[in-house]
Amino acid sequence: MKEKQEQAVRKKQRGRGWIVALAILAILLLTASMLTLLDARHVRFYMTGDEDVTLEYGTPYVEPGVYAVTAGRLFGELPERLPIETCGSVDSERLGTYVLRYKTRWFFADSEVERRVTIVDTTPPVIELRTIEGYTPTWLTGYAEEGYSASDNCDGDLTGKVRRTAEGERIVYTVSDSSGNTATVVRELPDLHYDPPVLTLRGDAHVTMEAGLRYEDAGCTAADNLGNDLSAYVETENEVVPWLAGEYEVRYSITSEKGDTIGAVRTVTVLPHGLPAEKLPEEKTIYLTFDDGPGPYTEGLLDLLKKYGVKATFFVTDQQSDYIDLIGRAFREGHSIGVHTLRHDYDYIYASEENYFEDFFAMEEIIYKQTGSYTQLFRFPGGSSNTVSRINPGIMTRLTQAMNDMGYQYFDWNVVSGDAGGTNKTKEIIQNIKDGCAEHRVSVILQHDIKDYSVAAVESVIKWGKENGYAFRALTLDSPGMHHGLNN
């Protein structure tokens, strides 16, 4: 019984011990919770350097550092550092603002701080001026740029954006980069007090020449006081028309880049060759003239003229080269030879003076080969009164003057045989010639020795002429030109 009572007491005592233990535990927990609440522990960041950082373009960003600890009111900071995760990066080769985030986690809660890094460009570009050793400006060019370059730490080469302005005796170079930083450099120019060049005529200041195909100008040299030969920069204005008599000027000038001009003048007098005055024969005279040959009927014609002892005039062409040697024969037999044309191409020869001269003097050379002398006699294709040349207004007026000035006498006619389209009947041609000659004391008859029906008329004309007291002559430089009058 007693044992049972003791057992019951022990059981009671054990139960009371549990209760005490639980009570103590509860007090401890309560105390801890209260301490935690009172401590209010939280994360605290420490940032080295500023929250806002400004950094020059191209300067590498060096992280100054951030760390985090916990801090509380009761127990202060704990020394243990919390792990930090950094988000974001800085590219110092690109302008702009970058945000760096520093994050940590403590007790299931995230916290972070930020730093802003701004990359700026405040460095102006650099302009470098080049200088050429021994360089001296001249009157011609003034100051010629020796060269420059511009570069920028951020934008690279800016040479093409340099503005260059001349201010008196200096040049100001300015350039800005994309951030608005501006550089200015000044170049003081070397001594600009140079003398203008001197123009020196080669040859005489006044040239006199006889009218001819060409005038060769001797030119003009130019040099400055530094010894630079500037002749290559001389501009020449040559108004000389060498085949027309007159007073002309050749003007030379040299102009600097600034627009200053130095000039010189040569005068050229083109004199006419001079032709003898026309002399009308005193006796009744017939001049037989034949154009467009030699051809197949020229030889027979020469035989006929020889038989009657009559001299005629041939205005020759090179249209039938097989007969060209008849020019030489005609000349040796006392006939006159004049230039008609090489090709008898109206459109070509009257297109320009140069074309006409080319054709004319080529024929003149053929005559020279045949006869050993140059003729001064000629007849224009179509005559001087032709209108086919109107493709080139005024060409006949210019050509007649030019040819006379160069010493050539042109001949038209005052009796038409009609063989150039009027008729192909010899009888009519003879009649035309007789009728024409009857109207004049002195007659220049137009015939074509490339037409057999016209050549066939010659014997009758000679017989008739002799019977009627006419003299037959070959044209010479002072013979009557029978000029028609110009229509162009």
Site size toward Zn ion (CB under 5 A) is 3
H helix and E strand count, the chain? 9, 27
Of 338, 352, 303, which is closest to residue 446 (Cα–Cα)?
338
- Smallest separation, CB 334 to Zn ion (Å): 23
Q: Which is nearer to Zn ion, 420 or 471 (CB)?
A: 420
- Binding segment for Zn ion among 196-204, 251-259, 292-300, 432-440 (CB under 5 A)? 292-300
Name the packing angle between helices 325-332 and 353-371 (round to 10°). Answer: 60
Of 210, 208, 266, 274, which is closest to residue 237 (Cα–Cα)?
266
Segment 376 to 415, residues that bind Zn ion, using CB under 5 A: 381
- Binding segment for Zn ion among 232-240, 348-356, 373-381, 386-394 (CB under 5 A)? 373-381
- Smallest separation, CB 420 to Zn ion (Å): 8
Kindly give the residue spans of alpha helices, DSSP state H, lying in 94-218. Answer: none
- Smallest separation, CB 203 to Zn ion (Å): 42
Q: Does 353 bind Zn ion (CB under 5 A)?
A: no
Which of helix, strand or coil describes residue 240? coil
- Candidate list 121, 152, 177, 292; residue touching Zn ion; CB under 5 A: 292
CA 266 – CA 76 distance, rounded (Å): 109
Q: What's the one-letter identity of residue 416?
A: V
Q: Find all residues with CB under 8 Å of 29, minimum gap 6, and list them.
A: none
Q: Which is nearer to Zn ion, 246 or 296 (CB)?
A: 296
Segment 246 to 275, residues that bind Zn ion, using CB under 5 A: none
CA 212 – CA 271 distance, rounded (Å): 9
- Binding segment for Zn ion among 183-191, 286-294, 303-311, 407-415 (CB under 5 A)? 286-294
- Candidate list 177, 291, 318, 364; residue touching Zn ion; CB under 5 A: 291
Segment 101 to 130, residues that bind Zn ion, using CB under 5 A: none
CA 342 – CA 406 distance, rounded (Å): 19
- Smallest separation, CB 485 to Zn ion (Å): 19
CA 442 – CA 425 distance, rounded (Å): 25
Edge-to-edge order in the sheet of strand 76-77: 42-47, 66-72, 76-77
Q: Which is nearer to Zn ion, 222 or 339 (CB)?
A: 339
**Cβ pair 98, 108 in contact under 8 A:** no
Catalytic residue IDs: 291, 448
- Smallest separation, CB 340 to Zn ion (Å): 6
- Binding segment for Zn ion among 51-59, 116-124, 288-296, 406-414 (CB under 5 A)? 288-296
Q: Indicate the residue whose CB is closest to Zn ion.
A: 291
Within 10 Å of residue 286's Cβ, how many Cβ atoms?
26
Q: Which is nearer to Zn ion, 48 or 387 (CB)?
A: 387
Q: Find all residues with CB under 8 Å of 296, minimum gap 6, and list them.
A: 320, 323, 450, 452
CA 192 – CA 197 distance, rounded (Å): 14
Q: Which is nearer to Zn ion, 383 or 480 (CB)?
A: 383
- Smallest separation, CB 383 to Zn ion (Å): 9
Segment 30 to 59, residues that bind Zn ion, using CB under 5 A: none
Residues that bind Zn ion (CB under 5 A): 291-292, 381
